[in-house]
Chains A and B, each alone.
Chain A
Amino acid sequence: MKKISCISFAAALFRCVISISLADAFKSDWIQYNHGNLSSFVAPSSDGLVALTDMNELVKVKFDQDEKVQWAVDLRGLENFDTIVTDKNEQVVYLFSKSDNVFHSYNLTNGVLLKRLVTSSPVAQVVSFFDKGVLFSCADGTLFFLDPAYNVKQLDLGFKVGHFHHSYVDGLIYLVTDEGDVRSVDIDLSAQPCSVSLQSYTSRQNKVIDFKGTTILTTNNDILTLKSENVHKVSSNFGKKDSVRLLTSNLIYTVTSGKITFYSIDNEITNELYTIKITEPFWLLTLENDSPFEGIAIKTSTGLKVLDVSDFSDSHDPTLIRSFEFETNLSNGESIFSSYSNDETLLHFISNENNGVFTRKTFNLNRGTLASDTIRVGLPYSSIESPIMIDFPAPESKLDESLHLVQTEGSLISRWLYRLKRHLSQLGRSVASFRRSGNFPRSNDDPFSFNKIVVFFDNVGRDLMAVSTKDGSSLWKCSPEIGSQRLVKILETSNGREVVAIFDRSYHTVDSTSGQLLKSESVKTEIVDALQVRTTDNNEIIALVLANDKQLLLMNANVKLLPRQYVVKQLDAQTISGYEVTETLAPTWSFKKDNEEILLISHKPKESVTSSIGIARADHTVLYKYLYPNLLSVITKVKSDGTVKFYLIDSITGELLYLHSHDDSDSLVQDSLKIVMDDNWIVYTYLTSKPKIEQRIIVLDLFADKEKASSKEVSVFNESTQINTVSKLAFNYPEVISELASTRTKQGVTLKSILFLTKSGNIYEIPKFVLNSRRVANREMTASDFQDDFRMMPYDPVINRNTYQALNHKHLLKVASDDNHILVKPTLLESTAAVCFLNKYNFFCTKVHPSLSYDTLSTYFDKVKFLITIIGLFIAYIATKSFLVKKCLNAQWIK
């Protein structure tokens, strides 16, 4: 009971530590989804469309709203859908596949899946059935009716219905198959007896290709009219190779070189009505007509021509043909369709621009107006490789200011005068601004460096890209000439003003603010890696590791490297080597275990800062942390028996410091291993398959004696680096963990948290004190146990998921199977770190406060209420003062 109450108390504490305030949600974080490019779409109405995208999503786009994407259904992991159809009432969207046996229907308003059907064969066609549902046929010839309540009924027409054509005549729907079978069905789904057959007119080579009203067109340009008792062949002079199109049941047109000729069907004879001559070469475009609009679209060398024959089709009066010409460059991916609403005909052009953007142009044929819109569905990149998060470089003016603040040249008075002048000029600017606009100027600066730049390489577009973490806006795009080169690494220069993209045959220096390409160098020998090394003048420069004998190429040739710098490289699946960095990489040690395969290696991040070197215990002793920075974690698998081993190695000397063999090795799911190291701890996670599928977390805390803890030496050949104590504990987590990271702050004073990206699309921030390997197991906790560490608690093998710890709160993240990146960067506020999660599907950024925002006012701090309280207290003081005087007087009188 006591244990439970302790745990609940701890849970209550965590809740107040890291839950997101309702006032902060959606303000301090943002998410951008990458829906990709449209691959196919339908436009159920004039103000929006429903589309399938190349990111495997079904999206609804609304043209006239700020948030263009209304909903997006994730189809990953499901069948391959390729066709969309909407119903007549524009309420339901149907999705099916020409390769898989599946049929989905979705609510068009909110994207909710209405029905999922697994069919006997792929769905061939879906058509609206009056206003009562849809008919869908399968490739095996079966025909089904899906009613508005999503009940399915099979229809037997007496023949197989694969692809078919339909037309509404006299309250019946006529279905004509490509092969020429005909049957009519009434609104109650009763198949009407029909003595008509087209079999004598059709064949395998002469199939039905169009059916309008009662008129049927075949491949060989035969025109047939359907009567209740028989079929008549219309007499015509069309050849088999002529381009004949059916516009309405009694209007046909042919397209030949230089002209479009219209024919009417009267008494089973075609009569030529009118010919339009077009002097320049043209070709016919597919124009989806929305009744009552009837039109023909042709593309010419100068643009686009649309003939409105709506009135002509009724009256056959050629003067009623309206012609519209548009100067538009139609690309291959452009679609044209018409819509008719409020007695107005709109012509829509949708063109896909292949960078997540499509443009929509809408011409109102009645008013002659044009509306144009560029709509972003996806993000301007399709893949994210080697992302890094960097600070915004300080502007030049700020640098000058800082320089004057720290400068020591000149006399004290001259420096004071300069500062006074600067302050007076700032005051003058503020007063001038107040007089002009009534407001003091607000600084656009980001004084606490909350906003960062994420730089990455888009391998599909072959561009270097930079995005602001403030709002996800694209800052710049740089396209160096790299051909098909492979990216090796992206690094930031030590001054923070440039980034260097290193490819296998060249490297390119880019200004991190503007994206301007500053320098491009080609290298004859292949670059295999890049390092950041220190020089004798204590600067950090980039050194390129070349393939031939691990030669180093320094990006600044006029410097000397600081001696005793070491790096570790994994050479192959079995070998890790340590090197000393000189002019070459001189090998110092090697780690190779026969019969063992290296699964994962990890370093402690070099930016890691720790302010506390020990833990004060209840007995007034100090448990010193093992903070040696050159630790290397290696996880291997023994090939013969599958045993998984965890090694801790001194990356300078190659000395083995700790080894742990897993007793649950046989069940470890190899690809699930993730690791994070920081401070004096290592956390790694993996999935086990036996006795059940389970997510495990292993926590190792390393402790040392006082001397080792206080030593800041990076390289210690002459000292022992042995770890005094390794404390380890295993936990279970209810969800599959796809990626791990740890928070970092500027001074390392703030508590550290571990970030878990779960497969279900959440990032949970788990405080490190929860993942404490020293949690008390198998006994009741004593008073001294509670004082032995910060928020010490009894051991519970399960780390419960707490929704208050979800950084993404209600946003659902899309997790990729690989290449999920969690980037963490400290801000200038010790309490706060910037966190971004990005992969090819989405980009999410937020700020974390692992120990609450203790150094800044929260966003919902009510200054007005605070002022009212002060005033209230002051009034109360004044009001009670007379009572107090009276009381004191009475007391004196009693004396």
Chain B
Amino acid sequence: MLEITRQAVAILILMLLDVSEGFNIKGKIVGMPPEVKQIQDQNFPSPLLNGINFQSRFTIELLNIQEDNVVNSKRGVLNEKYEFDFQGVDEGEYELDVISQDFLLAAEKYKVKVGDHVEISEEAVGPYPGNKTVLATEEQPLMIEFKGYKEYYERQSSSLVEMLQGSPLGFIFANKTYTIMFCVCMVIIATPYVLQWVNPELAKQLQEIQQEGASRQRETAPTKIPVAPAETKNVKNSNSNSSTRRRRGH
């Protein structure tokens, strides 16, 4: 209750402070990811001047055309909470530009109509019809949604890891379990070949053991009756045989 009273008093004071004539236009960038604040709080080192002062890297302008087609612009500034306001705006039609050097916003251009009341709607670039929906009024601030980060740089794509991850086998290397399984499989496949080089006798022994195992299996296994259509199998076999025959015939 006390907190509400305090806030009410603060609002009252702000209203008292706000003595400018004309209308007020307020806006806010919403949906800023928490890491942005974290970067600012931790005073993250940046190679740029004002690199972490993201608020100062916004260009906010309220433009209107005066007589003789002269553009009159009023500059707005963003505070810590990504809020801005223009006070004492006279009647007329304006364009509000909100451009960030770092962030992608839902829209950067807005049409502002100031008459009996304030109406703010999105402005399209070019001959396309814009969204006529009234997004904000004098009482309701314009909420501009954060959409992402602006990318300026092409990254070096010649690293082996990136190459592997970008390949069709990339999904394997994106998952740790798959990667381990893949490596184990590769080792099992490669071992007999490697053994032939490293220890041919052991490789021979292994091969004999494998052959023995295979022949025992053949002896114990029941005779399988083919279930596939005989024609298909015959065709396959005949192909295989014909190819063998062709090779031998040469």
A interface, CB within 8 angstroms of B? 15-16, 19-23, 25-26, 33, 69, 71-74, 76-78, 101, 107, 109-120, 144, 151-154, 667-672, 687, 689-690, 692-694, 732-735, 759-762, 797-798, 803-804, 806, 809-812, 860, 862, 865, 894-895
Contacts of B95 in A (CB 8 A): 692-693
B250 touches A (CB below 8 Å): yes
Is A77 a contact of B75 with CB atoms below 8 Å?
Answer: yes
A797 with B55, Cβ < 8 A, contacts A153-B10, A669-B69 known: no
- Using Cβ atoms and an 8 Å threshold, which residues of chain B touch A672? 71
Residues of B within 8 A of A153 (CB): 9-10, 13
Complex Cα spacing A358 to B5, Å: 50
CB distance from A715 to the nearest CB of B (A): 39
Residue in A78, A694, A810 whose CB lies within 8 Å of B48: A810
Taking a contact as CB atoms under 8 Å apart, the answer to whether A107 and B10 are in contact is no
Known: A71-B53, A734-B108, A761-B101. Contact between A113 and B79, CB under 8 A?
yes
A residues less than 8 Å from B79 (CB atoms):
112-116
* Cα–Cα, bound, A762→B57 (Å): 12
Closest residue on chain B to residue A19 by CB atoms? B154
Select from chain B the residue with minimum beta-carbon distance to A803: B150
Partner pick for A151 among B10, B48, B78, B108, CB 8 A cutoff: B10
Q: Is the CB of B71 within 8 A of A154?
A: no
Query: Cβ of B17 and Cβ of A117 under 8 Å apart?
Result: yes
A123 to B176, CA, bound (A): 62
Known: A19-B153, A810-B102, A812-B48. 20 other contacts (CB 8 A): A16-B154, A19-B152, A22-B153, A26-B47, A74-B56, A77-B74, A110-B40, A112-B40, A112-B56, A118-B19, A153-B10, A669-B65, A670-B69, A672-B71, A692-B111, A692-B123, A693-B65, A694-B126, A735-B99, A812-B57
Q: Residue on B with the closest CB to A26?
A: B47
Q: Contact at B52–A865, with CB atoms within 8 Å?
A: no
Does B190 make an interface contact (CB < 8 A)?
no
Whether B205 is near chain A, meaning CB under 8 Å from some CB there, is no
A20 to chain B: closest residue by CB: B153
B65 touching A72 by the CB < 8 A rule?
no
CB proximity of A301 to chain B, nearest CB, Å: 43
Q: Answer whether A804 and B152 are a contact pair too, CB < 8 Å, given A73-B56, A734-B109, A810-B51.
A: yes
Q: Which of B9, B17, B153 contacts A809 (CB 8 A)?
A: B153
* Contact of B69 with A113 in the complex, beta carbons under 8 Å: no
**A669 touching B250, Cβ below 8 Å:** no
Q: When each residue 70-87 of chain B gets 1 if its CB lies under 8 Å from chain A and 0 otherwise, what string results?
A: 110111011110000101
**With A153-B10, A153-B13, A895-B250 in contact, do A804 and B151 touch (Cβ < 8 Å)?**
yes
Whether A732 pairs with B158 at a CB distance below 8 angstroms is no
Known: A20-B152, A113-B77, A734-B109. A118 touches B71 (CB 8 A): no
Evaluate contact between A689 and B152: CB separation under 8 angstroms.
Answer: no
Q: Are A110 and B153 within 8 A (Cβ)? A: no
Residues of A within 8 A of B65 (CB): 669, 689-690, 693
Measured in the bound complex, the distance between the Cα atoms of B85 and A113 in whole Å is 13
Q: Are B247 and A894 in contact (CB under 8 A)?
A: yes
In whole Å, how far is B67's beta carbon from the nearest beta carbon of chain A?
11
Give Cα A469 to B35, complex, Å.
36
A153 to B14, CA, bound (A): 9
Q: Which residue of B lies closest to A119 (CB)?
A: B17
Size category of the B interface is: 35 or more
Do residues A154 and B152 form an inter-chain contact, with CB atoms below 8 A? no
A304 to chain B, nearest CB (A): 35
Check if B216 is an interface residue, CB within 8 A of chain A: no
Pairs A-B, 5 closest by C-beta atoms: A77-B75, A689-B65, A798-B126, A19-B154, A809-B152
If A669-B65, A689-B65, A797-B126 touch, whether A21 touches B156 (CB-CB below 8 Å) is yes
Once the chains are docked, how many angstroms separate the CA of A762 from the CA of B43? 25
Q: Does B155 contact A (CB under 8 A)?
A: yes
Q: Do B69 and A806 touch across chains, with their CB atoms under 8 A apart?
A: no
Bound Cα distance A151, B9 (Å): 9
Q: Hey, which chain A residues are within 8 Å of B151, CB to CB?
A: 803-804
Decide yes or no: A687 and B71 within 8 Å by CB, A116-B79, A693-B65, A812-B50 being known contacts: yes
17 contacts between A and B (CB under 8 A): A16-B154, A21-B155, A25-B152, A71-B49, A77-B73, A101-B20, A110-B43, A113-B77, A114-B79, A114-B80, A117-B17, A669-B70, A735-B97, A803-B151, A809-B152, A810-B51, A860-B156
B221 at the interface (CB under 8 A from A): no
Q: In angstroms, how far is the closest chain B Cβ from the Cβ of A638?
A: 14
Cβ-defined partner of A732 (8 Å) among B69, B77, B87, B126: B126
Which of chain B's residues have a CB closer than 8 A to the CB of A23? 156
CA distance A862 to B157 in the complex (A): 11
The minimal Cβ–Cβ distance linking B7 to chain A, given in whole angstroms, is 8
Contacts of B211 in A (CB 8 A): none
Interface string of B41-66 (1 = CB under 8 A from A): 00100011111110111010101010
Which A residues are in CB contact (< 8 Å) with B158? Answer: 860, 862, 865
